[in-house]
Structure 1
Amino acid sequence: MSSEDVLKNASTLASYNVLLQVMFRMLTFLLNAFTLRFVSKELIGVVNVRLTLLYSTIVFLSREAFRRACLSAGTGTGHNWRQIINLLWLPLPLGVLWASLLVYVWLWLLEVPDPQAVPHYGPAVGIFALAAVQELLAEPLWVLAQTHMFLKLKVVAESLAMLAKCILTVALVVSAPEWGLYIFSAAQFVYTGFLVLCYAVYFMRFLGSDDADKKYFPVHTVGDLLPCRNKGEPLIDWTMARLTWSFFKQSFLKQILTEGERYVMTFLNVLSFGDQGVYDIVNNLGSMVARFIFLPIEESFYVFFAKVLERGRNAKKQKQEEVAIVAEVLECLLKLVLVIGLIISVFGYAYSQLALDIYGGSLLSSGAGPTLLRCYSCYVLLLAVNGVTECFVFAAMSQEEVDRYNVVMLGLSGSFLLLSYILTRWAGAVGFILANCLNMSLRILHSLLYIQRYFQGSQWRPLQGLWPSPALLLALGLSAVITAISEGLFCCDSGWILRLVHIAVGAGCLLVVLVTALLTEHKLVQFVRTQLLSRYTKKDT
């Protein structure tokens, strides 16, 4: 497959993933707004912080390293799929081990919530752990689907699973709110069960079909998906296993960075369960755009960079026609997320209080909620840039460079946890966001230096064309001033008529910004039109 074909498939995958994440976040957004009317903020805090952290920790530590290593291998000539599938079954026993260890920690070493306010905590911990292990059953199928660009499978599977989770949650919250944590535990277990079932059904129908033969699919029967050993061959590819180990050490540190504030809240008790609930709701609301736009782009274009670039070789030692495509894609991606991040930061400041008031009422719009969301709007800008830069860096690094970066990640992890604790004691929940901003800035700096070294000596300079046009920066600056004045005049203690005026002012400013971008950022607009938007209407090939 040529680099142009890989780019087209990665762009299509990014578009589908964006669509999927939009739907997920909207469903979660509506589900949280609904459940806030029926359950306490303490229960929301335990579910969204304590139990979700248990689930994400088990899943991430068990599979992330395997995914990165096996996606990098892809369909390369140096690896065979029998050994890759064998390696991909290792996350399951690893998940059981992590689940056993972490369930003990969650039940016996952490503070147990008040059973009157948050009932059924013990069983909920066990069910969330089982749900995490259950999801790992689909890991070989997920990697096969991603590597061979089964673009619609992930969308359909996760959509059906999320729909089942939301329906069950709403039904139980309305009919049996006294069940407490049982409601959310059962919903999570159903979600992972549907996910595994969808992947299993698809591959049972696909394997052995004419379509599979036409695509020269490397797996022919359902039995080939199970671990086994070919005669005369090692059970697994040990080169890939060593790369997996390097990624595992990095994944452990990345998990601390990604979920650092939850670990601090969970293990250091710097916030009450109620305050954790409010912070998590604001955090989810603030990161909604980042998650459904930036994360899918990062995941999809990591596949592109990993398949086009040869690890450990700088731009001068790669195929020059492929490096040209990579440099152009990297430049356009960075500018795209930079512009989106600036828009979110500008408009997020003036509309944070209104958004929280509409979403959760005075429970969220009073107190520290608006300040949290304003700070998070600025943090989204850093989050956007870091996602793309690390996406490229992790795809281009050699195993030795990955190992060295693990040391950097260790220092960043330690400094982040220390900063989180100190700043939270000083500024409350806002301290988490300040610590994240400082940490993310250091990660971006490291990645930018790597990218500069990577292209040094070549004719490409993808970092030089990042800044938006002066006209666009002027439009953003004026929008920031106008919307801030509008918030002071029309929001948010006034009636709905004045609130609508404030919304109209923001809509007008946003329209001016978008038109300015269309008129001045021609290369970026062309990239979005040809590589992202057009993929929604095209069928898979």
Structure 2
Amino acid sequence: MSAAADRRQTMPTASPNLLEASLSSISSLVFLQLSSRAFTFVLNQALVRLATPQTFGTATVQFELLLSTTLFLSREGVRTALLRQRMGVSPDLVRNISLLPAYVAAPIAVALAILYAVTSAPVVRAQPHFHLSVSMYALAAAIELAAEPLYVRAQNELRVDVRVRAEGAAVFSKAAVTFVGLAFAPSEWALVAFASGQGAYALVTFAVFWNFCGRSTRYLLRKVTLEDRGRKKGKYFDPELLHLSGAMTAQSVVKHFLTEGDKLLISRLSPLADQGGYAIASNYGSLVARILFQPIEESSRIFFSKSLSMSSSSGEIEKQAFKTAVELLSAILLLFTHFLLLLVTFAPPYLALATALVLPPRYLQTSAPSILRVYRFYLPAMAFNGVLEAFFASVCTPADLQNQSRMMAVVTAIGGSRFIGIGDSALVWANTVSMALRALYAWRFVQAYCAARGQPKLIGWNVLVPPTSVLTAFAAAAICTRWSEAAYTGVRLSVTAQKGHIVTGGVCLIFCLLSCYAFERHRFAGTIAILRRR
């Protein structure tokens, strides 16, 4: 491949179709998550019936924590930093940085796997084929990280279709291999079945990305000769991007352990059966987050990073790009406020019925039901924090990252220490409080960022609050659904026995949605017009 072609593929562009591409990526990723989660939800219903709570907890809490820690520490900072690459940076310097996660994959995976195996409780290590399963998870992490340079290239080219194919095929392979292993292998191989599924996920991910651009990608660093003040110097990395990658990696270490703190404590403090209850509650409770919030957060980060990095000749951010980014952020935040209202209004009176219908009987005696009750607040906190931190990561300086890291550490240390030893649901409450405070910090940063650019009124608390008429509709629906719940107290938890209660909820939901359309369609019309103009 020619140098010119390579340059076109790796350099960011200030295309006016950037927003259109970002919105297209949202819809593609939502479709990916919806289809893959629908498939895995059905399969999970079978998995939780095939695996014991102890095995399910070990695989989906402890092993998944080992995997996510390896992946997050190796690649998250580099991924975020490379979205902010400047125009004119040599593509080889960018590609060299994208290779770093692949280089550190094996050492980090091996080190974390050994640390986990040595420090695990005896009851965990006593499970059949435990060490083999841990080794397989470490190998799967290394294989997935080997695809990172290929992922970065596809991301920079806005080739969301490649990622959709890769993740869709990988999720299907993981679920199918795990199911076959649990269904047809002896029960003592249950942990290996989960590890095999993760290995299939990693291999398929690498294979799809390799088919996209692997043949033209070399895993060797290229030295670039640049002229600096009349002297030619050889460089392997762009200094600014490398420094930003290091700062974001250091900050991601703090962020990861704060975000996954509940899993870390539960894996150490809770019985294995309760870990299985936490895992199934987390899987079910976060379905909406994975289907809707994760694609919005990831696509927003791409759009914010690339649009806010476009500079005019004077070095200032283009006013129109800046205004569009903030208005899009406001629209997303308002959407999340409505989601919070829906959860607070409808989740409490219908959670007991939903839990009885979805959870297998043996999981009803674990911590799963109590954890699901907390998720009506945890999910909105996660949503607000995700998109606000996406904006923050797109424009922050290394000094801003250090300040945020200190804030997160202090908040979590104070809040989390009060909940340790109380119970699994209390740990999720602590994580919810931490998420909310992180979102508040990022919100204040966005306000200060707008004020520093002469637009203090561009974003404010008013963008988060629906009109009084809509709030009244939700309040009325909350009263009706709770009255209905009280009327059906003691009635068997089934669809046929509770059909009157279900119909009441459906009518109230339609009433709330119609109220949003009647009183807020003009509010969203401005955002829709902006999107169409772009």
Could you tell me the TM-score, scaled by structure 1's length?
0.88
Query: For each residue in 1:208-245, what CA deviation from the matched residue of structure 2 results, as whole angstroms up to 9, or x when unmatched?
Result: xxxxxxxxxxxxx7155643323453011121111011
1:212 alignment counterpart: none
1:56 to 68, 84, 94: 68
Q: CA deviation at 1:26?
A: 2.2
Q: Which amino acid aligns with 2:455?
A: S
Q: Establish whether residue 41 from structure 1 lines up as the match of residue 53 from structure 2.
A: yes
Q: Distance in 1 between matches of 2:479 and 2:311?
A: 46
1:9 to 8, 17, 21: 21
1:487 alignment counterpart: 485
Q: Establish whether residue 227 from structure 1 lines up as the match of residue 231 from structure 2.
A: no
Change (3 A) 1:120 1:225: closer
Q: Secondary structure at the match of 2:78?
A: helix
Q: Distance in 1 between matches of 2:501 and 2:344?
A: 17
1:346 alignment counterpart: 345
Q: Secondary structure at the match of 2:235?
A: coil
Q: Which amino acid aligns with 2:51?
A: V
Q: Establish whether residue 194 from structure 1 lines up as the match of residue 192 from structure 2.
A: no
Q: Structure 2 matches for 1:50-449, cutoff 5 A?
A: 50-73=62-85, 76-113=86-123, 118-178=127-187, 179-203=189-213, 222-224=216-218, 226-231=220-225, 233-266=234-267, 269-310=268-309, 317-365=316-364, 368-415=367-414, 418-419=416-417, 422-426=418-422, 428-449=423-444
Query: For each residue in 1:382-401, what CA deviation from the matched residue of structure 2 results, as whole angstroms up to 9, or x when unmatched?
Result: 22211121111111212322
Query: For each residue in 1:472-530, what CA deviation from the matched residue of structure 2 results, as whole angstroms up to 9, or x when unmatched?
Result: 21122122222222233336625532223322222221111111111222255447867
| Aligned pairs, number | 506
1:458 alignment counterpart: 455
Q: In the alignment, is the contact (CA less than 8 A) between 1:350 and 1:483 conserved in 2?
A: yes
Q: Secondary structure at the match of 1:408?
A: helix
Change (3 A) 1:224 1:524: farther
Q: Structure 2 matches for 1:501-516, cutoff 5 A?
A: 501-516=500-515
1:474 alignment counterpart: 472
Q: Distance in 2 between matches of 1:475 and 1:246?
A: 46
Q: Which amino acid aligns with 2:155?
A: Q
Q: Secondary structure at the match of 2:269?
A: coil
Q: In the alignment, is the contact (CA less than 8 A) between 2:324 and 2:530 conserved in 1?
A: no
Change (3 A) 1:243 1:278: same
1:22 to 30, 34, 47: 34
Q: Distance in 1 between matches of 2:316 and 2:100?
A: 34
Q: In the alignment, is the contact (CA less than 8 A) between 2:99 and 2:219 conserved in 1?
A: no
Q: In the alignment, is the contact (CA less than 8 A) between 2:266 and 2:424 conserved in 1?
A: no
Query: For each residue in 1:450-488, what CA deviation from the matched residue of structure 2 results, as whole angstroms up to 9, or x when unmatched?
Result: 112111232642223221121221122122222222233
Using the TM superposition, name which of 458-467 and 504-513 deviates more: 458-467
Q: CA deviation at 1:199?
A: 0.6
Q: In the alignment, is the contact (CA less than 8 A) between 1:65 and 1:248 conserved in 2?
A: yes
Can you give the 5+ residue segments of structure 2 that lack an aligned partner in the other structure? 1-12, 226-232
Residue identity over aligned pairs, in percent, reads: 27
Query: For each residue in 1:353-406, what CA deviation from the matched residue of structure 2 results, as whole angstroms up to 9, or x when unmatched?
Result: 222211123334456543321221122222221112111111121232223322
Q: Secondary structure at the match of 1:77?
A: coil
Q: CA deviation at 1:335?
A: 0.5
Q: Which amino acid aligns with 1:143?
A: V
Using the TM superposition, name which of 407-416 and 134-143 deviates more: 407-416
Q: Distance in 2 between matches of 1:4 and 1:112?
A: 58
Q: Distance in 2 between matches of 1:10 and 1:529?
A: 15
Q: Which amino acid aligns with 1:473?
A: L
Q: Secondary structure at the match of 2:499?
A: helix
Q: Distance in 2 between matches of 1:367 and 1:436?
A: 20
Q: Distance in 2 between matches of 1:17 and 1:494?
A: 35
Q: Secondary structure at the match of 1:497?
A: coil
Can you give the 5+ residue segments of structure 1 that lack an aligned partner in the other structure? 205-220, 535-541
Q: Which amino acid aligns with 2:472?
A: L
Q: Secondary structure at the match of 1:292?
A: helix
Q: In the alignment, is the contact (CA less than 8 A) between 2:277 and 2:367 conserved in 1?
A: no
Q: In the alignment, is the contact (CA less than 8 A) between 2:95 and 2:149 conserved in 1?
A: yes
Q: In the alignment, is the contact (CA less than 8 A) between 1:58 and 1:132 conserved in 2?
A: yes
